[in-house]
Amino acid sequence: GVNDLNGTNDTLSFIHNQNNPEVELFNTATKTIKVGLMKYMTNLVEFDKIDIIYLDSSKTEISIIDKADIWNNWTFNTGFSGFFNGEKSYSNNNYGLNFSTERIMKENKILLNGYLNNNESIYYDFESDTTFYEDGTFIVHEVDYKSKQSSNGFTIQFIKSIKEHTGIGIKLRYYSSTHNNIYRSISISPGIEYNIFPYSEATYNRLSVLYNIKPVYNQYLEETIYYHKSETLF
């Protein structure tokens, strides 16, 4: 069978609506490949081994072009992590939760994400202080020592395309962290985005650079070394 199909060439194409789910692109491409192989099969396989099934779209409720997207191009992701261990004198609990959702279109894109982290450590009978007496005796005062750290935040971003590779938008961010002495941190930052791929391919190709002007308002849990309880940074 080598070179039996030499010189037999064929080209098929199809149109894919970018607003349809990616599974539609896969299914349509698969059907097109199957149709394209028919020409070659007739030269390689005996006819009695081939069955052809034709689906008349006018007599079926199945549509391969327009399928309703019940999520309207929204995608969602969520995750949870946890770590727990302990012994007689020590225990540690650590857990985290995160989520994200986005809607990517040719005209604009919306991205939301958030997280929550918590870490708690307890040292049981932790040596706090020792009292010595004149007779040489002493007493060790033991107490439980607890260390707790938590952080949480979320980000909302909106980008509107104004040219094939350029978009403008705004980003809102909220953040809190006991480890970093942040009671609350809020920023609203306008920006401009350059997309390496054209926005017409945004549903399946994305690589972009975003520049933001970012004023930040911080409110602290404890007074900083510069005697600030709150401040605005640029």
DSSP string, 142-159: EEEEEEEEEEEEEEEEEE
What pLDDT band is residue 220 in, cutting at 50, 70 and 90? very high
Q: Looking at residues 76-84, what average pLDDT do you find?
A: 90
User: Mind listing the pLDDT tens digit for each residue in 86-125?
Assistant: 887 788 889 999 999 999 888 899 999 999 999 988 887 6
Rounded Cα gap, residues 26 and 45, in angstroms: 27
Question: Does the pLDDT at position 20 exceed 70?
Answer: no
**Phi, psi (5° rounding) for residue 150?**
-145, 155
**Residues 75, 111: contact at Cβ < 8 Å?**
no
Question: Does the pLDDT at position 222 exceed 70?
Answer: yes
Q: Looking at residues 156-180, what average pLDDT do you find?
A: 93
Structure tokens at 224: 């900083």
Those residues with Cβ within 8 angstroms of residue 2's Cβ, 6 or more apart along the chain or in another chain: none
pLDDT of residue 64: 46
Rounded Cα gap, residues 216 and 210, in angstroms: 18
**Residues 213, 189: contact at Cβ < 8 Å?**
yes
Alpha helices in the chain (DSSP H): 22-44
**Residues 174, 182: contact at Cβ < 8 Å?**
no
Question: Does the pLDDT at position 180 exceed 60?
Answer: yes
Rounded Cα gap, residues 83 and 231, in angstroms: 35
Max CA pair span of the chain: 110
To the nearest whole percent, how much of the chain has pLDDT over 90? 32
Specify the residue for token string 């997207």: 69
Please name every residue paired with 118 in a beta bridge, in sequence order, or none if there are none: 95, 150
* pTM for the whole structure: 0.59
pLDDT of residue 114: 96
What pLDDT band is residue 63 in, cutting at 50, 70 and 90? very low
Rounded Cα gap, residues 41 and 142, in angstroms: 84
Which amino acid does the sequence have at 212?
A: N
Is residue 224 helix, strand or coil? coil
Which amino acid does the sequence have at 208?
A: S
pLDDT of residue 29: 79
